[in-house]
Copies of this chain bind each other. A is one copy, B any other.
Amino acid sequence: MSLRHILLGMLQQPHSGYDIKKEFEKSLRNFWRAELSQIYPLLQKMEAEGLISSKVGASDIGPRKRIYRRAAKGSRELNAWLSDGPVVGTERIGYLAQVYFLGHLKDHDKAITFMEELLAYMRRWLDLLESSEAEWRANDPRYPDGLPDSEFYPQLTLDLGLRKVRANVEWCEDCLERMQKRRQRARAG
């Protein structure tokens, strides 16, 4: 039940559902995703539960928005979530499930193609994260350890994102090398 808590965390600042979706795509994509069709109903439900409140306001650029704010009850629930200890052991990694069964592809070249695609994806992702870090570093002299809490902790998640994606890139490269050697051996033998 993390999405509701993520929304509570985001509503430290007032946000519309649409804003929240943007925020997911900009800053949280490393560890969570959510569609508008999940966000809007959940915001309504959370308002009904008294965790957040809303009012309609003008938009700078488009039609009027419904702006949500966190209520006191929402702050307490957010606090409880963070105090309950780390949420671990729930991850599902689709591409690793695929790698586990990659031997099912009888054509060795197809398995190598799979890994090449994965490597390309990881490199693109790494580029994104590195640009994101470079921009942040260039624009804020406090980066990273002088940042206020509200940015310091997000920076920690970017840091782990970078480490993990680098590990993924190196792993893909090693896998490809090992798979190519196996292919050669298979052809020779």
A residues bordering B, Cβ < 8 Å? 2, 5-6, 9, 12, 27-33, 75, 78-79, 81-83, 85-105, 110-111, 114, 117-118, 121, 145, 148-150, 152-154, 156-157, 159-160, 163-164, 166-168, 170-171, 174-175, 178, 181-182
For residue A184, give the distance in angstroms from its CB to the closest CB of chain B. 12
Complex CA gap A156/B177 in Å reads 12
Which single member of B28, B86, B148, B166 contacts A94 (CB below 8 Å)?
A: B86
Chain B, Cβ-Cβ closest to A10: B101
A157: chain B residues at CB < 8 Å are 96, 99-100
Known contacts being A33-B92, A181-B145, is A167 close to B175, with CB within 8 Å? no
Q: How far is the CB of A125 from the nearest CB of chain B, in Å? A: 8
Other A-B pairs, 6, CB within 8 Å; known A12-B104, A91-B92, A163-B167? A6-B97, A32-B92, A85-B117, A86-B95, A100-B153, A164-B168
11 contacts between A and B (CB under 8 A): A9-B100, A27-B100, A32-B93, A32-B96, A82-B104, A86-B94, A88-B95, A111-B153, A159-B174, A160-B171, A166-B167
Point out the residues of chain B lying under 8 angstroms from A159, CB to CB.
Answer: 171, 174-175
* Contact among B79, B117, B174, B181 with A104 in the assembled complex (CB-CB below 8 Å): B79
Known A2-B92, A121-B86, A163-B167: A150·B103 in contact at CB below 8 Å: yes
Q: How far is the CA of A174 from the CA of B32 in the complex (A)?
A: 23
